[in-house]
Every structure is written in C-alpha cells, then in structure tokens.
Amino acid sequence: MPYLPYEEPGITTILSLTSFLLLLNGARYILDRLLYCGIIGEILIGVIWGLPVGGTSWLTEGMQETIQSFGYLGLIGLVFEGGLTTNLALLRKTAYMSISVATFGLLMPIALSFILLVLPFSGSSGTLYPSPLAGFSAGASLCSTSLGTTFAILSSAGMQQTRVGVVLVGAAMMDDVVGLVMVNIVTTLGNGGMGGWPIARPIVASFGLLLVTLALAPWVLSHLWRWISAYIRPVNGHGPEETTGSLRQVARRLINSIPHLSFILSTAVLVIFVTIAAFIDASVLFAAFIAGGVVSFLWSRTENREEVVQDTGPSIMYEHYFKSVMDFILVPFFFVSIPLPSSSLSVFGFGQRARGEESCRLLFNFNCSRGTLTREGEGET
C-alpha cells in the first residue's frame, strides 16, 4: 500500500521558506505605505525566487506548484471579500458605465494587437509576420482584467466604496467572464473548429448562474437564512422569547451548539457557488463574487431584526476568520505565483523580447486611455 514517508525538511528548505514569507510581507508592507503598490514587490520576489530567475535553487518545483494552488485559493478569497464589501446598490446604478469601460477594455487590446501584424519577427526560419489569428490571440490574452489585482489595488488605496472603484469592479467582472469566451474562441479556431456552443457556454453559464441567484436569493435563500439566524444567540445575550414550543427550543439548542456558525454558513455559500461554477464551465471568480454578494445581501436582511447572525456583519466575520491568513499567506502567494510559470527570460530571444516590449507599451497606453474614460465618466455623473 503506497504511503508518503515523513522526512524532516533540511535547513536550506526552512531558511528558503522563512525568508520567502518574510520578504513577501515585508516588501508589501513597505511598498503599500510608500506607493500603494505592494503587489509589485510580491511579483518581483516571485520572479527572483521562481523559475524565471531562481529556477529551483531556492524553491523546488513541487513547492512552486503548491504555492500556485494556495495562491488561487487566495484569489478566490480576495474576490469573495470584494463581493462582501462592494456596494451592490451603487454597482447596479453604475452598470452602464461599467459596461462601457469593460467594452473599451475588450476591444482596444485586440485592435492594438493587430498593429503588431506589420512588425517583423525574426526566427530560425527567417523574418516572419504574425498571422491574424496570432494577433487576435495576443489581444485576447490582454483583454481580461485580473479581479484579484483590481480588488487588491482598490483595497490598498481605500477606493472599494467609491464610485470609481465600483465601476472598475463591475468592468473587471465582465472582462473576466468574456475572457473565458476569448480563450474558447482562440482554442476552437486554433484547432480548426467552428462550434458555437463551446464558445458561448462560459458566458451563458456565468450569467445564467447570476440570473438564477437573483431569482432565488430574495424568495428562497433569504427565508432560509432568516430561519437559521432566528435561532442563533445574539451578541448581547438577549435571545428570543422563552415561550416558544418544544420543537423550536430543540432547534435553537442544536443550532446554538454549533460553533462559528456565521463562518460555516458563509464559507458553505462560497464553496457551493464555486463548485457549481466549475461544473457548468462558468467563471469561478465570478461565482466567488456572486457568493460574496449573496452573503452580504442575506446578512442585510437580518440587520433590522432583533436576532442577528452573530457579530455585527459580514465584514466583521471576514476580518475575524479570513483576514489574517488571507493577508499574510494566501494573497501574497497569489501575487508571487503570477510570474512562476513564466520562462520568457530563457525561451525568447532578443527579438521576441523587443516585440514583447512593444506590446507592453501598447498595453500601457491602452490602460491610460481606459483610466481616462473612467475619470471622464465619473466627472459627468
């Protein structure tokens, strides 16, 4: 029967992991205080400690894969926090502006990438020009906005509750969903296929999940949440009237005997939504944001009641149970894992890096234009 023998890690491994964690948190703290860009430091540490520069001398390939997996958990938790803290009413009011920013963010990278078709690429077969499919693929890879990066930057700058922050969150969510469609388009065209359903399935599944949630939350989930919260002992210690029947007394005792129930219920909502999204090929991050919004909505339905679901709200629950491990381990693991799969420094030659620099310049100019569009929309409204 196979088993995994326990082996004590060597001092090299211990020192590498210790310095890795300390540098991640130290660099983020310093850069956040000085420039509000702590994630840049984490990404640079990932470049140095990971495969692009350090290879496997400091962190083995298995460790880097583990960091990537935990980092994705951090990304899901980061987006879930965004759903908990985003002003849903303001998000609904700024929906049209978010759609405008998202559309601009989808079309401009593809249009700019087609400019690269006139630039020659030197290779072993001589000077070649990219095909239109290659140009479209390059643009599609740039059109998706990182939800995790968006939430991290807005949080460090204190802009999560502002109108601009909510607009950017809405645009980033749409870009994430449409980015899945772009990936399917590139994959289908690259394989010579022309199937419509494999391309449209992610966006249909994602928005179908949203519509089903909007239909169920007020009528089904809300009543279930209220029923459970009515039997949880409030913070001030004043519970429901003791004149209830024996069945309600038994139910109250059973539910009150479950420790950390607010954390369990909120995490269950997150796990259920993420699992459903994975099985129906929807966006997992979009589902995590919906789960955060659902928890925030359900919690608000109990705020005016005498029996509130422990503590004082979803933000307090998140800070109590999630924040420490997210801030110091999982979220740094996510940002440091971004450059780990990259091997561009060893694979590409000087000519390819030069073309990559051209792409970066175009992307920088595009992001400046996108930010200008958002600021102009903010000024008009």
Whether the CB-CB separation of 349 and 73 falls below 8 Å is answered with no
Give the model's pLDDT for residue 358.
Answer: 42
Task: Kindly report the CATH number that applies to the domain delimited by 16-380.
Answer: 1.20.1530.20
DSSP states along 315-346: HHHHHHHTHHHIIIIIHHHHHHHSSTT--HHH
Q: 318: how many CB neighbours lie within 10 A of its CB?
A: 20
**Which of these, 326, 264, 253, lies nearest to 73 by C-alpha position?**
326
Distances (CA, A) of 351 to 126, 196, 202, 339, 346: 12, 37, 36, 21, 13
Whether the CB-CB separation of 128 and 121 falls below 8 Å is answered with yes
Residue 258 structure tokens: 């479950």
Q: Is 126 helix (H, G, I), strand (E, B) or coil?
A: strand
The residue type of 186 is V
Q: 3-class secondary structure for 20-68?
A: HHHHHHHHHHHHHHHHCCHHHHHHHHHHHHCCCCCCCCCCCHHHHHHHH
pLDDT in tens, 69-125: 999 999 999 899 888 888 888 888 888 888 888 888 888 888 888 877 777 777 666
pTM of the model: 0.77
The stretches in the chain having pLDDT less than 50 are 233-244, 304-311, 343-378, 380-381
- CA-CA distance, 53 to 46, in Å (whole number)? 9
pLDDT in tens, 156-166: 777 877 888 88
Give the model's pLDDT for residue 240.
Answer: 46
Give the model's pLDDT for residue 268.
Answer: 92
Q: Which residues pair with 122 in a beta bridge?
A: 127
Q: Is 122 helix (H, G, I), strand (E, B) or coil?
A: strand
Give the model's pLDDT for residue 345.
Answer: 40
- By DSSP bridging, strand 121-123 and strand 126-128 are antiparallel
- CA-CA distance, 260 to 193, in Å (whole number)? 50
Domain chopping of the chain, boundaries? 16-380
Query: In this structure, what DSSP letter does residue 218 have?
Result: I
Distances (CA, A) of 90 to 87, 93, 286, 373, 380: 5, 5, 18, 19, 16
Give the model's pLDDT for residue 277.
Answer: 93
Q: 315: how many CB neighbours lie within 10 A of its CB?
A: 15
DSSP states along 252-295: HHHHHTSTTHHHHHHHHHHHHHHHHHHHTT--HHHHHHHHHHHH
End-to-end CA distance of the chain: 67
Q: Kindly give, in sequence order, each residue whose CB lies less than 8 Å from that of residue 98, ignoring residues fewer than 6 positions away.
A: 91, 166, 167, 168, 169, 170, 171, 174
- CA-CA distance, 135 to 149, in Å (whole number)? 25
